[in-house]
Amino acid sequence: MSTPSARAMADVPYVSLTSYKQDGTPVSTPLMVAARGEFLFVWTRKESGRVKRIRRDPVVRIGVCDIRGRPKSAQWPATARIIGGGGEQMVRELMAAKYGSFRIKYADLWLKLRRKSVERVGIQITLGGDLADHDDSPVFREGDRL
């Protein structure tokens, strides 16, 4: 099965982003997603575990899922990059355009009520590519090759 383009995934409501712990354990999270050009964008709380995992190892897998994270497609290899310097605002605008400003404000309110930080970072996802350069990635450890 070939990797879809970002444009092909622009209309899906949620994606499952799988990042990897240091010991190679996969951790999947359902996230809202928006597309711009050839990239997908998600956002998450700045101090979340997925941010730490992506900073350590940018190799991820991504697939379509429902709001609870149940898979609706295969997962494809991708590379993730934390974006800063105003990138969070761009991602917020993309999310508001796709999901509506009310939904974004509601998500922030929900975090505040749960006494969680609402400071977020954007994550840029590049689908496909040659991931063979990431030999030290948990994805490519023996027995867990794509």
* Domain residue ranges of the chain, discontinuous segments joined by +: 14-130
Which CATH number applies to 14-130? 2.30.110.10
pLDDT tens digits, 70-103: 999 999 999 999 997 778 888 888 988 888 877 7
Beta strand segments in the chain, E? 14-20, 26-32, 34-36, 39-45, 59-65, 71-83, 120-127
**CA 96, CA 94: separation in Å to the nearest integer?**
6
Choice between 45 and 94, residue whose per-residue pLDDT is larger? 94
CB atoms closer than 10 angstroms to residue 85: 7
In this prediction, residue 136 has a pLDDT band, given cuts at 50, 70 and 90, of very low
According to the model, what pLDDT value does residue 100 have?
84
pTM, whole model, 2 decimals? Answer: 0.79
* C-beta separation of 96 from 104 below 8 A: yes
